[in-house]
Homo-oligomer: A and B are copies of this chain.
Amino acid sequence: MTAELIDGKQAARSQRKLTTDRAAELNDEPALGILVAESDKPSRAYAKFLSKRGKKIGLRVDATTYPDDITPGRFAEDLSEVQQGVDGLLVMRPLPAQLDPAAVDELIDPRRDVDGVHPHNVGLLALGRPRFIPATALSMLRLLLSTGIELQGRRAVIIGRSPTVGKPLFQLLLSRHLTVTVCHSRTKDLAAVAREADVLAVAVGRPHLVTPEFVKPGAVVLDAGYNWDDDAGHELGDVHPDVAGTAGFLTPVPGGVGPLTTELMLANAVEAARGLAGLSTEVV
């Protein structure tokens, strides 16, 4: 069997078109604010990338850098000031050590929380009435839906229990009526558990962890891995490319979950602007 590759770039293009239309219905250009530590070069590069992407859909992206030795009190003030001038707010990680990540999440206005990290939004997702869904998890669901396979009653296995990917994806797959298992670093005989899956979703940040013996023939395999590799000159997934010989569908890396994730995060910013403007919003 050779897996059908799920084209994340195509899905991203479709989403971009949708978001552009949604943004155009607003009276004012929507704006996404990004807070980045001064020395965090990868995050600054990503903010620049988002700014370019934003232009294409009519979304202004303002990146604000702050000094790495900022005090928590000053950080809170800066965040509040930035937040007042934008519709969506993204606080890039990692944070400097003196800033408590949990406390920072609570500073974000839940109505502007495009990353879906505020506890209120995390709770709304768990309660089945999501406001903002973390973009990587939503991208994985969308690409799964694009296969057109029947989901209800199928078995899903998620490898990875992070608050930003594995756990929200659990909620999304459960709401689609799959029977869902969550695995992690302490799981015993991981390959055998993974082989139970009709839908195998992987988000652990370990390049090529998942090899063909993890995969039930014909399964849908969703790979959120994004591990830069100097030798390859591009990122590697958490799933080995040989899995294409066993899976029914596979999201490639690069060109799978990643491109759609970016577009969905920007879409969240446009939906935040719509919500603040009192227009109807869309979640999934």
Contacts and interface: CB of A to CB of B under 8 A. Distances in A.
Interface of A: 102, 118-124, 126-129, 152-155, 161, 163, 167, 170, 174, 177, 179-184, 186-188, 193
Nearest to A176: B186
Which of A123, A161, A167 has the largest number of chain B CB atoms within 10 A? A123
How would you classify the secondary structure of chain A's contact residues: helix, strand, loop or mixed?
mixed
Nearest to A152: B186
B122 A186 contact: no
Contact of A127 (B102, B180, B181, B186): B102
Given A102-B127, A119-B123, A119-B127, A186 B181 contact: no
Q: In this complex, which of A128, A167, A170, A181 has the most chain B Cβ atoms within 10 angstroms of its Cβ?
A: A181
A186 B177 contact: yes
Contacts of A170: 170, 182
Nearest to A127: B163
12 contacts: A102-B127, A102-B129, A119-B127, A120-B120, A120-B123, A122-B127, A127-B163, A170-B170, A179-B183, A179-B186, A181-B181, A181-B182
Nearest to A161: B174
A121 B106 CA distance: 12
Contact of A122 (B122, B167, B179, B184): B122
